[in-house]
Amino acid sequence: MKKIKQIKSTMLPLPMSNVDTDQIMPKQFLKRVERSGYGKYLFFEWRKNVDGNLNPDFPLNKEVHKDARVLVTGANFGTGSSREHAPWGLQDWGFDAIISTNFADIFKNNCLNIGLLPVEVNAKVLERLFELIKGDPKTIIDISIENKLLVCVDINTDFIIDDFSRQKLIMGRDQIDITLEYKDSINEFAQERKKNIPSLD
């Protein structure tokens, strides 16, 4: 997991509410065994017209948003099934953060577990971000994970992230990395436990 202390980037707008994980990552791509390479399937059915060609009006297909590392989207993002493939696809596409008024709990945790930052803001801030992007797609947002602060033009607002998740992002350590830090203690416990297990001989 890469270290992330600060994100400064343009934003990609997706002004839609109740986007579920099947829309983010359609079920036909869940058979893949790799964790990487999901970005090209992100919003797969929305990115194309009925003729199979890319829809030039869909935000992910617009050249002006191709370098955006921050997705700004509507309320209740990531609802539906608990599939981890949805956050994998968003991160593989290039997003480091997602901004919404609220996220489905499981989706939010899945994001934090892989180093993808979900930022919850109030409706007024979200509306203002959409306005800023529409006025100038090259508008830069500055998100400080260290300070739990979001700054963009006339927006300056705190956001909530628990200290454990915040430290994981800043240090670039996932739950496996943290567990391995206690490897010696785990091995010691395992050896001691063996002594207390009755022999079957």
Residue for token digits 């947002």?
Answer: 141
In angstroms, the CA 41 to CA 47 distance is 9
Q: What are phi and psi of 196, to 5 degrees?
A: -95, 0
Select the more confidently predicted residue: 61 or 31: 61
pLDDT at 181 over 90: no
Residue pLDDT, tens place only, 76-134:
999 988 889 999 999 999 999 999 999 999 999 999 999 999 999 999 999 999 999 99
In angstroms, the CA 7 to CA 193 distance is 45
Domain 6-173 has CATH 2.60.290.11: no
Kindly report the number of other CB atoms within 10 A of residue 40's CB atom. 11
**Which pLDDT does position 124 carry in this prediction?**
98
In angstroms, the CA 154 to CA 183 distance is 47
* Domain locations along the chain: 6-173
In angstroms, the CA 13 to CA 65 distance is 9
pLDDT at 182 over 90: no
